Amino acid sequence: MTRFWLVRHGPTHEKAFTGWRDVPADLSDAAAVERLADYLPPDAVVVSSDLWRATATATAIAKGRTLLSPRKTLREFDFGAWDGLHFTDVANRDPDLSRRFWEEPGDLAPPGGESWNTVSRRVVSSLRDLAERQSADDIVVVGHMGMIMTMIAQCGGSAYEAMGHQIEPLSVTDMTYDLQRWNIGTINHRA
């Protein structure tokens, strides 16, 4: 059995859709970063999305743990044409689609972007691959809010329910995978 420790990257202070845009994380709260690093299992391997905010966070919390190469498959949603736009601008531009995207997560996608189901398949496949290829009992995955929410849904419940969870920067959501089933542990733990 593998225990995954899903860590949301440090805050970006963005006030717009932030998917595949490569923005930095604010890791200036050294005490919060240190508490998070100390909370995670010392013998875990660490992997992250390949976006800057995730790789910087992974490097900051690695503290002697094995740091694997970043994976594009662990990225946030690709918000396509919405990336970089304020939420009200998206609501004005695509009123029906933007409302339905959140209320009916599934196959709906932003223009040029990814649907919930596409992201879920991508992330689940990547984490299964990590569980099968790594000999570690604990794997820390530094990623994004959407990535974490898709995995909460994978553990049971609907996508809509999963999107109701708060996933704060530098929080940890843990789950186990026994090569057949996913089981949720704690959601949005702040060390």
Domain boundaries, the chain: 2-78+118-184
The whole-model pTM stands at 0.97
Contact between 83 and 113 under an 8 Å Cβ cutoff? The reply is yes
Q: Which residue has the tokens 């949301």?
A: 8
Which residue would you say has higher pLDDT here, 179 or 43?
43
Q: Which residue has the tokens 């594009």?
A: 72
CATH match of 2-78+118-184 with 3.40.50.1240: yes
Per-residue confidence (pLDDT) for residue 100, from 0 to 100: 97
* Calpha distance 11→92 (Å, rounded): 26
Per-residue confidence (pLDDT) for residue 157, from 0 to 100: 86
Contact between 140 and 2 under an 8 Å Cβ cutoff? The reply is no
- How would residue 92 be classed by pLDDT, with cut points 50, 70 and 90? very high
